[in-house]
């Protein structure tokens, strides 16, 4: 009996274990759908061309109505956002007085429209203030000494950057979730069921047992990650990206490249999951620890931004979060070579497997 035999035995058992398969396939199905829903949600929030209708609460102002209409806003008597102005607004403005305008609406559900109304009214107020200064012989440059012009050096839009960041985090989380149940079951689960003891009495080395189990879980992780990535990119073709003018690579080439970048990480993550399972007291503890570990990409993905992400270097997980923007956004941000990172992660993988084999040789592995 060798590692290949152990692998075939574990993989066949894995295919028969509906609980482990359902756990892995759930993320494969949920991941692409979550990608689609997230993109559409972000597209709705970041879209500047679609605003909810507005109305005047009581008194109306032709002057403000013209400014708001010119800014792309529309009026509807049944609108949920209303602009409350005093009845003598235009007369008070003509006299050089200030006027308080109230904007009422649901800031949570209609935040983009409310911000558009606020910015339009603020811009009109600034223009009107400048006209008053000029009428009194005062130059606007006295009150606005700085004119700020921001120019981006980024080759892609901020919307694409935000959406790609969410995509990358969801894709990097796939290796953590797809094989988590399988790794826990074939380690802590077998210890709890006492089915690990008959395997240990066979004339087979501990390292071969560990490698066989790791190969079965890793194969499930690689296949599930590939399905999640390619499925997510296929669904993106039916999302609202085109309406926003956002360019993301969603073709088969990009999907295969992202999957290739994630393969070494998947192998390393599976080895770590095997290790956690072997050191856990029971299946329940293993699941708890592994689920906590599965959210590491989400935490790291939102913490490592900007310069921190650019300095990821050869660190596993950090490199993937930085490098996946290449195939998805055609980003030219310099990262460490894939071959170097893959060699490092494979070396760490076999180091973890060697530690797991040492654990398997200990008599403490049979204690509960």
Would you place residue 343 in the very low, low, confident or very high pLDDT band (cuts 50, 70, 90)?
A: very high
* CB-based contact 261:338 (threshold 8 Å): yes
| Residue labelled with tokens 């000029």 | 134
Measured distance CA(346)–CA(41) in Å, rounded: 38
Measured distance CA(121)–CA(101) in Å, rounded: 9
- Please name which of 264, 279, 193 lies closest in space to residue 13, comparing C-alpha atoms: 193
Please say if the pLDDT value at position 154 is more than 50: no
Query: What tokens appear for 277 in the block?
Result: 């399972």
- Please name which of 128, 105, 99 lies closest in space to residue 117, comparing C-alpha atoms: 105
More confident residue, 319 or 268: 268
Pick the most confident of 20-34, 38-52, 268-282, 299-313.
Answer: 268-282
Please say if the pLDDT value at position 155 is more than 50: no
* 103, 133, 248, 304, 321 from 273: Cα distances, Å: 53, 69, 32, 23, 20
What's the maximum distance between 2 C-alpha atoms anywhere in the chain?
Answer: 99
Q: Which pLDDT score, from 0 to 100, does residue 187 have? A: 86
Q: Which pLDDT score, from 0 to 100, does residue 47 have? A: 53
Cβ contacts of 90 within 8 Å, gap of 6 or more:
61, 62, 63
Q: Which pLDDT score, from 0 to 100, does residue 223 have? A: 92
Please say if the pLDDT value at position 46 is more than 60: no
Cβ contacts of 118 within 8 Å, gap of 6 or more:
103
* CB-based contact 155:332 (threshold 8 Å): yes
pLDDT average, residue stretch 56-67: 85
Question: Please, how many CA atoms are within 13 Å of residue 224, restricted to the half-sphere of its CB?
Answer: 33
pLDDT average, residue stretch 246-252: 78
Q: Which pLDDT score, from 0 to 100, does residue 327 have? A: 86
Torsion (CA) 261, 263, 266, 272 in degrees, nearest 10: -100
How confident is the model over 272-308, as pLDDT tens digits? 999 998 888 888 888 889 888 988 888 887 776 656 6
Measured distance CA(222)–CA(78) in Å, rounded: 53
Q: Helices then strands (H, E): number in the chain?
A: 18, 3
Cα 240 → chain centroid: 17
How confident is the model over 190-211, as pLDDT tens digits? 888 877 777 777 777 888 889 9
Cβ contacts of 76 within 8 Å, gap of 6 or more:
53, 54, 55
Q: Which pLDDT score, from 0 to 100, does residue 153 have? A: 46
Cα 339 → chain centroid: 25
| Residue labelled with tokens 């180091």 | 351
More confident residue, 125 or 239: 125
Would you place residue 73 in the very low, low, confident or very high pLDDT band (cuts 50, 70, 90)?
A: confident
Please say if the pLDDT value at position 159 is more than 70: no
Mean pLDDT of the chain, nearest integer: 80
Would you place residue 266 in the very low, low, confident or very high pLDDT band (cuts 50, 70, 90)?
A: very high
């Amino acid at each position: 009996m060798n590692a290949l035999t152990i692998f075939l035995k574990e993989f066949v058992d894995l295919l028969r274990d509906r609980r482990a398969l359902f756990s892995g396939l759930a993320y494969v199905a949920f991941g692409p759908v979550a990608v689609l829903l997230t993109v559409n949600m972000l597209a709705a929030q970041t879209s500047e061309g679609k605003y909810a209708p507005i109305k005047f609460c009581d008194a109306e102002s032709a002057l403000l109505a013209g400014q708001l209409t010119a800014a792309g806003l529309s009026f509807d008597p049944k609108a949920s956002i209303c602009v409350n102005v005093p009845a003598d607004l235009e007369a008070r403005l003509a006299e050089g007085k200030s006027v308080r305008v109230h904007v009422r609406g649901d800031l949570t559900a209609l935040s983009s429209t409310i911000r558009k109304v606020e910015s339009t009214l603020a811009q009109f107020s600034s223009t009107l203030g400048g006209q008053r200064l000029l009428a009194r012989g005062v130059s606007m440059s006295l009150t606005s000494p700085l004119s700020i012009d921001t120019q981006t050096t980024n080759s892609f839009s901020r919307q694409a950057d935000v959406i790609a960041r969410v995509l990358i985090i969801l894709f990097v989380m796939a290796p953590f979730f797809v094989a988590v149940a399988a790794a826990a079951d074939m380690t802590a689960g077998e210890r709890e069921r006492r089915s690990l003891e008959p395997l240990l009495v066979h004339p087979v080395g501990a390292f071969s047992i560990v490698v066989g189990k790791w190969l079965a879980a890793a194969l499930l992780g690689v296949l599930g990650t590939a399905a999640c990535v390619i499925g997510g990119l296929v669904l993106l073709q039916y999302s609202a990206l085109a309406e926003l003018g956002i360019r993301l690579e969603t073709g088969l080439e990009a999907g295969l490249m992202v999957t290739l970048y994630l393969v070494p990480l998947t192998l390393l993550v599976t080895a770590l999951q095997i290790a956690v399972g072997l050191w856990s007291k029971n299946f329940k503890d293993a699941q708890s620890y592994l689920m906590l570990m599965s959210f590491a990409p989400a935490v790291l993905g939102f913490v490592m931004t900007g310069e921190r992400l650019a300095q990821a270097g050869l660190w596993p997980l950090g490199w993937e979060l930085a490098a996946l923007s290449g195939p998805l956004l055609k980003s030219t941000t310099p990262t460490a070579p894939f071959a170097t990172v893959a060699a490092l992660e494979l070396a760490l993988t076999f180091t973890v497997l060697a530690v797991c084999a040492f654990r398997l040789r200990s008599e403490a592995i049979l204690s509960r």
